[in-house]
Structure formats: structure tokens, C-alpha cells
A and B are shown apart, each in its own frame.
Chain A
Amino acid sequence: QQQVKQSPQSLIVQKGGISIINCAYENTAFDYFPWYQQFPGKGPALLIAIRPDVSEKKEGRFTISFNKSAKQFSLHIMDSQPGDSATYFCAASKNTGRRALTFGSGTRLQVQP
């Protein structure tokens, strides 16, 4: 599997602040980039995803920014809330063939009240 590098490993943000998590990929054949949220003991939940034909996608408080030339994409969580405290994973895949997701290493977000 090609690697997807994710940073930071952990993040502490104050309530109401902006949480930013970054990912970089190597395989230029990737053309689907989702973000997942995982709470302890639960399966990951699909938050938001982007294709490389757009540079930004927003859904509620969650925004993906995508830079194709730099092979980087990021998740912005606006107005972060304590309920957002979870582990976030970026992922990437091709949109043909097996379409297996390659996951980043995860970011543990803690939003302090």
C-alpha cells in the first residue's frame, strides 16, 4: 500500500477554536480523499470526502482543503466542540479497481471546554 502521512499525531484545541489536521500522499493515481472520525471502541464514521477536481469542500463545520500540486489535503473543524474529541483519519484511494482505502496514522483531537 502506498503511504499517506498524517500530522499532527495529537492536537489540543480550545472550545470554539479551529482544528486543523494535515495529510500528504505519494501516489498520484489516488483520486478520492475521505476523512473519518472514530470514537473509542467504535468503527470509523465517514465525515466528508473530496475528489481532486475541486480545491475545497465544506459540510457544516467541516472543510476539506485540497492541493493537488503539493499532494496534500487537510481537514478544518470550525468552532470545535468537546463532542468533536475523537481520533480522525485521513484516507486515499483510487476510484477504479479494488478501491481499497489507504489510511493515515490518525490524529487524536481533544477539545477542551
Chain B
Amino acid sequence: GAVVSQHPSRVICKSGTSVKIECRSLDFQATTMFWYRQFPKQSLMLMATSNEGSKATYEQGVEKDKFLINHASLTLSTLTVTSAHPEDSSFYICSARDQMGQGNEQYFGPGTRLTVT
């Protein structure tokens, strides 16, 4: 149980285009999902908190108009990187919180490697 999927796993796009990344909780419901980015050999940096049915909460320094988040259902959140530039190249990872868990169990997806050329 507690499986989170991400799609695509890897994407290469040209500068100026937009890329959508999907995050799904496969066997549990998640009112809250989180989006992170991770640079090589570094820790995870929280970008935003995605709440089902309401607006996402962005961390300081994260441009909400560039990183669009939609959480349309209890099992799906999407991150759209708009007008991508090479500096947006990174490993993007989502996590989903099991709302039925006793603690704050958060399960991560396998990540999406974005390369902007």
C-alpha cells in the first residue's frame, strides 16, 4: 500500500514551453500533497503545498505564476512549469499525506527529471 505515482518520469523540453507533471496517490486518499524540487546531491526543497479543492500554498521565493498547481481530486495533483527555462531543470518530487494515517505519514512519488534545453 501507500503508493504514489508520478508521470512523466523524465521529460526534455525546449526553453519557453510548458510542462505538466502529474502526481497520483494510487491506494489512498490525500487531501494534501506536497511538491519538492531537488538538485544533485542536495536535500529536498519544499515548493508548495497542494490542497484538494483550494489554492496551493507556496513557499517564499517560489513563483506561483510559474509553477501552477492544481489539486482537482483526492488522488491527483498536477504541477505545471510554465515558460520553462534551463534554470528550471531539476528533479521534481511530489508527496502525498495519508489522511487516514495516525501520524503525518507522507509517501513520495518516484520523481520527474526535467531537462530544459
A interacts with B? yes
User: A30-54 CB contact bits vs B (8 Å, 1 = yes)?
Assistant: 0010101000011111100101000
Cα separation A1 to B97 with both chains bound (whole Å): 19
Chain B residue with the shortest CB-CB distance to A43: B108
* B110-A43 in contact (CB<8A): yes
The reply on A98 being an interface residue by CB < 8 A is yes
User: How many residue pairs bridge A and B at CB < 8 Å?
Assistant: 64
- Whether A89 touches B43, Cβ cut-off 8 Å, given contacts A98-B49, A98-B57, is yes
Nearest-CB distance from A11 to chain B (Å)?
15
* Nearest CB in chain A to that of B102: its residue: A51
Report the minimum CB–CB distance from B90 to chain A (whole Å). 13
A80 proximal to B (CB < 8 A): no
B27 at the interface (CB under 8 A from A): no
Q: Check B46–A101 contact: CB distance below 8 A.
A: yes
Which of chain A's residues have a CB closer than 8 A to the CB of B41? 108
A interface majority secondary structure:
loop
Q: How far is the CA of A99 from the CA of B43 in the complex (A)?
A: 18
User: Mostly helix, strand, loop or mixed at chain B's interface?
Assistant: strand
Q: How far in angstroms is the closest Cβ of chain A from B115?
A: 13
The answer, among A32, A95, A99, A108, for a CB contact under 8 Å with B32, is A99
Contact-size category for A? 20 to 34
Q: Smallest CB–CB gap between A105 and chain B, Å? A: 5
**CB within 8 Å of A: which of B2-45?**
2, 4, 6, 32, 34, 41-44
Contact A101 B34 (CB under 8 A): yes
CB neighbours (8 Å) of A101 from chain B are: 34, 46, 95, 104, 106
Can you offer 19 A-B residue contacts whose CB atoms are under 8 A? A32-B103, A36-B108, A41-B91, A43-B4, A43-B111, A44-B93, A44-B108, A45-B108, A46-B2, A46-B105, A46-B107, A95-B104, A99-B32, A99-B106, A100-B34, A101-B34, A101-B106, A106-B42, A108-B41
Q: Which B residues are closer than 8 A to A by beta carbons? A: 2, 4, 6, 32, 34, 41-44, 46, 49, 57, 59, 91, 93, 95, 97, 103-111, 113
